[in-house]
Amino acid sequence: MTLFDLRLQDIHNQLRNKELSVTDLVGEAFAKIGERDERIGAFLTLNEESARAEAARMDDKLVNGEALGLLFGLPVGVKDNMITEGLRTTCASHFLSNYDPIYDGTVISKLKQAESILIGKLNMDEFAMGGSNENSSFHPVRNPWDLNRVPGGSSGGSAAAVAAGEAYFALGSDTGGSIRQPASYCGVVGLKPTYGLVSRYGLVAFASSLDQIGPLTKNVEDAAYVLQAIAGYDPKDSTSAQVDIPNYASALTGDVTGLRIAVPKEYLEGVDPQIKASVMEALRLLESLGAVWEEVSLPHTEYAVAAYYLLASSEASSNLSRFDGIRYGVRADHAGSLIDLYHESRSQGFGPEVKRRIMLGTYALSSGYYDAYYLKAQKVRTLIKRDFDQTFEKYDVIVGPTTPTTAFALGSQVDDPLTMYLNDILTIPVSLAGMPALTVPCGFADGLPIGLQFIGKAFDESTILRLAHAFEANSDHHKRRPSL
């Protein structure tokens, strides 16, 4: 067993008992990155010098027996759309390739307050747009289980870094499934919290009504532990929720007796037969632990992808209008007029997927089309949310697969945006409804990980963590590691 196989709580205890030093721990992370990341491509920027200096300071603190933060000494990698003061933040876009932030996003401040150590910024699809991490302006990320396959997107770097043992845990962001889909493809745990539970201040906005930051970890307990550190009301984010934050770890009791699980039949149609078989096996396991499950229908599921792409693209076209080459970002040379400068900087700065979504969103919001596309999609969103609300009147958790297939080959879908969008068909409905959802490994198909998705009521992360933890404690899929 290596350090990377230990639970975060165990590592924390070893540090506290001086069986391990923060310097060794951080050294181990950079050693793994040095050995593996050339093949994986998970990191865009390393924070090595500061991380090592920080580790030395923390070791002094251990000697002095001072009080320790919740994530004391634990090395973390963060998706490169979260603003980090003094550390280059690019969103994997040429447009921001020189961007040096002047402040920390709230999650970064919270990680620092909990005394976690930021080891670097992780690769992603440009501005978080994509399902394969091939839309990074710099280089794609490769799936640690098969280097010819995608890690999923857009938090592909975050998922791959954890799966490859380069980061002890990572943060990603999920708009339509961008934490859960890559976590599923890479065989790690990924949690999209309820919209509003984690502050978005300092997250470069893609689709503001959908974006949510969450953890990617090797097990459910670690996810609960990290969520504890990053959740909470933030006056700097006007969409931040004012709710009490429970103790998530204490919810992991192992007891799931009587929990009522709904399994949407729509989530089992059209998925790979091996994935369906793994999900059914998982349900039998949950049943043996005392939970009960029934098949239900979420009738508007098939409309979610269409509604999502209109809404997310509309919000993206609006959010990305701030990139003009004037105040920050890369400015085009030789522009003749101010309007040319906008056009040239944006045309040179954005990659193809970002342009495609800006075009789609601008069209959907333009005069004469707003009602037909944007407004219609927002009404369909209401119907999708109602499906969930009605189901949660009778059930505690919704369970199903996270993705319809396992990780696909690099380059195989890159020219076909619609097919790529359909990979997210099982994660998008939850995003539209704002509910929390968690994916855990539940099996393998031809050597590639399969993810099991647990969807909960708004702000009821505790219940999905409890059920997923009970599943994990009685299975060993999450313990398998890729050979690298």
Partner 1 sequence: MSIETKDVEHVAKLARLNLTDEERDLFTEQLNAILQYAEKLNELDTDGVEPTTHVLRLSNVMREDVVLDSLTQEQVFRNAPEEEDGQFKVPAVLE
Active site residues: 79, 154, 178
Based on CB atoms, which residue is closest to partner 1, 16 or 343? Answer: 343
CA distance 184 to 429: 17
In angstroms, rounded to a whole number, what is the distance separating the alpha carbons of residues 106 and 35? Answer: 32
Rounded Cα distance between 350 and 327, Å, is 16
Cβ atoms 473, 254 nearer than 8 A: yes
The window from 138-146, 151-159, 356-364, 440-448 that contacts partner 1 (CB under 8 A) reads: 356-364
User: Are 171 and 158 a contacting pair, CB within 8 Å?
Assistant: yes
| Interface pick for partner 1 out of 7, 48, 138, 342 (rule CB under 8 A) | 342
Using only the alpha carbons of the chain, give its radius of gyration: 21
Cα–Cα dist 33/44, whole Å: 12
Least separation in angstroms between residue 98's CB and partner 1 is 7
Residues numbered 185-204 forming contacts with partner 1, rule: CB under 8 A: 195-196
Q: Which residue's CB is nearer to partner 1, number 129 or number 307?
A: 307
Task: Specify the residue, 303 or 444, whose C-beta has the smaller distance to partner 1.
Answer: 303
Pick the closest to residue 171 from 115, 221, 108, 238 (CA basis): 108
By the rule CB under 8 A, 233 interacts with partner 1: no
Side-chain-side CA neighbours of residue 261 (13 Å): 27
C-alpha 381/C-alpha 439 separation (Å) is 23
DSSP secondary structure letters along 190-258: EEEPPTTSB--TTBPPSSTTT-EEEEEESSHHHHHHHHHHHBS--TT-TT----PPP-SGGG--S--TT
Give yes or no for residue 375 binding partner 1 (CB under 8 A).
yes
Is 352 a binding residue for partner 1 by CB under 8 A? The answer is yes
Taking the least distance from each CB to partner 1, the nearer of 217 and 240 is: 240
Query: Nearest distance from residue 430's CB to partner 1, in Å?
Result: 11
Task: Tell which one of 235, 290, 411, 447 touches partner 1 (CB under 8 A).
Answer: 235
Measured from the Cβ of residue 239, the count of other Cβ atoms closer than 10 Å reads 14
Told to check if 380 binds partner 1 by CB under 8 A, we report yes
Q: What are 440's strand-pairing partners?
A: 452
Asked if 232 is part of the footprint of partner 1 (rule: CB under 8 A), the reply reads no
The residue (of 272 and 344) whose beta carbon lies closer to partner 1 is 344
Please tell me whether residue 376 binds partner 1 under the rule CB under 8 A: yes
- The torsion defined by the Cα of 218, 224, 228 and 231, in degrees rounded to 10, comes to 90
Under rule CB under 8 A, residue 335 binds partner 1: yes
Beta carbon of residue 444, minimum distance to partner 1 (angstroms, whole number): 32
Kindly tell me which residue out of 373, 395, 454, 471 binds partner 1, with binding defined by CB under 8 A. Answer: 373
Which lies closer to partner 1 via its Cβ, residue 280 or residue 372?
Answer: 372
Q: How far apart are CA 129 and CA 359, in angstroms?
A: 13
List 306, 445, 473, 484, residue binding partner 1 (CB under 8 A): 306
Is 112 a binder of partner 1 (CB under 8 A)?
Answer: no
Smallest separation, CB 138 to partner 1 (Å): 19
Residues that bind partner 1 (CB under 8 A): 98-100, 102, 195-196, 209, 235, 238-239, 241, 300, 302-303, 305-307, 309-310, 317, 321, 324-331, 335-344, 346-347, 350, 352, 355-356, 358-360, 362-363, 366, 372-373, 375-383, 385, 417-418, 421, 432-434, 458
